[in-house]
Amino acid sequence: MTYLDHAATTPVLPEVLAAMTEQLGRVGNASSLHASGRAARRAAEQSRERFAEALGARPSEVLFTGGGTESDNLAVKGLFWARRQAEAGRRRIVVSPAEHHAVLDSVEWLAKHDGAEITWLRVEPSGRVRPQALAEALGDGSDVALASVMWANNEIGTVSDIPALAAVAHEVGVPLHTDAVQAVGQVPVDFAASGVDALTMTGHKLGGPMGAGALLLRRDAECTPLLHGGGQERDVRSGTLDVAAIVGLAVATVTAVGSREDRADRLSELRGRLVAGVVERVSDAQLNGAPLDDRLASGPGRLPGNAHLSFPGAEGDALLMLLDARGIECSTGSACNAGIARPSHVLLATGADADRARSSLRFSLGHTSTDADVDAVLDVIAPVVERARRAGMGRR
């Protein structure tokens, strides 16, 4: 099996499995006052400290959540509600149209049900949001509740210069949220240095468990809770702490961040060989997103393991199916809840036409990827694309 869908989820690290297994064998609610509770709390809080340190945050800035979607919902809705509560005129949300649906659908829900107004940010053809575009969209910022721009795009891997965007937002007194689900462990992410007010991350993209993530939230950021109850996590996210998941999340994050540079170099090289090899075999294949060697002041301009390609005349879901039948697992980007492949909203946001958006595939490499995986794709890509083209689009 050739697994090239690490951006969807990546194998759990062995050290995570060991740490979680050990923790799952113990009893204790971290909110309890007795010895078992204290032991659980100690494990959770040690993890919080190590986790915070790995990401340049303070422990008190870490809110553990159920994952990226929850963190995005909490940041977007919580910041919006709190800011509007403080100043009724702040109803505008400035957001990129290339965001993950966890952000997009939260923003659109607020617009539909809660009086928010959306300002869509201009996106470069690479998928990047420039500070200038954010400055224009914010104006004087007086009516803006928050801005949200993802650190690295989940489909095409393009990185935006988040520290520069945070500086622009702060100039006009607007908090910036960033979805860094794909960025953490792949590119340098330092919460304090970045200046952002809220940062979403999740565990299962970097070798941790599914269903465990965090929102890093500055201590001065007001955020209205989504979940009410026992008052855990600064009263912003109630719910019994999932100690084993938190331990696993922390081990995964510390490990992935610690080994980031070596892995990035290795994946970047593999990815370069993959893209070059595909283009050599399918001459009209088009790379989507930023150039492979793109650089920003804050680090790489593209995720090292991301290869997103369009194959004109072939439909993405036909390509995926043919590759799947040959033991190669990748992704077309997005599917609706019924499983229907949709033209990628990210590519459409970058100005690509619907056919290019429909004909794309994402290969995402991760910590278990090898040369053999790249070879497996290169062995079959030409006949697969040829076959998908002949199968047509199922449309006229």
Q: How far is the CB of 351 from other proteins (least distance, A)?
A: 23
Name 191's Cβ contacts closer than 8 Å, sequence gap at least 6: 55, 56, 57, 61, 199, 216
Q: Are 241 and 96 in contact (CB under 8 A)?
A: no
- Of 150, 94, 178, 120, the closest CA to residue 289 belongs to 150
Q: How far is the CB of 324 from other proteins (least distance, A)?
A: 6
255 versus 359: smaller Cβ distance to other proteins: 359
Counting residues that bind other proteins (by CB under 8 A) gives 21
89 versus 392: smaller Cβ distance to other proteins: 392
Distance (Å, rounded) from C-alpha 297 to C-alpha 151?
14
Residue 223 among the catalytic residues: no
Q: How far is the CB of 343 from other proteins (least distance, A)?
A: 10
The pair of three-digit structure tokens given for residue 141, joined into one six-digit string: 């910022």
The active-site residue out of 336, 338, 340, 372 is 336
Q: Which stretch binds other proteins (CB under 8 A): 131-139, 193-201, 319-327, 371-379?
A: 319-327
1 binding other proteins? (CB under 8 A): no
CA 134 to the chain's CA centroid: 20
181 binding other proteins? (CB under 8 A): no
395 binding other proteins? (CB under 8 A): yes
394 binding other proteins? (CB under 8 A): yes
Cβ count near 89 (within 10 Å): 11
Q: Which stretch binds other proteins (CB under 8 A): 210-218, 303-311, 371-379, 384-392?
A: 384-392
Name 72's Cβ contacts closer than 8 Å, sequence gap at least 6: 100, 102, 103, 106, 177, 179, 200
Q: How far is the CB of 228 from other proteins (least distance, A)?
A: 27
Distance (Å, rounded) from C-alpha 95 to C-alpha 104?
8
Distance (Å, rounded) from C-alpha 160 to C-alpha 65?
25
Residue 176's H or E segment, with its range, is: strand 176-179
297 binding other proteins? (CB under 8 A): no
390 binding other proteins? (CB under 8 A): yes
61 versus 317: smaller Cβ distance to other proteins: 317
Site string for other proteins, 123-142 (x = CB under 8 A): --------------------
What three-state secondary structure class fits 250? helix
Q: How far is the CB of 388 from other proteins (least distance, A)?
A: 7
Q: Residue 209 corresponds to which amino acid? A: P
Q: Are 255 and 207 in contact (CB under 8 A)?
A: yes
Of 320-379, binders to other proteins (CB under 8 A) are 320-322, 324-325, 335, 337-341
Q: How far is the CB of 337 from other proteins (least distance, A)?
A: 6
Distance (Å, rounded) from C-alpha 42 to C-alpha 112?
43
88 versus 338: smaller Cβ distance to other proteins: 338
The residues annotated as belonging to the active site are 336
Give the footprint of other proteins on this chain (CB under 8 A).
317-318, 320-322, 324-325, 335, 337-341, 387-388, 390-392, 394-396
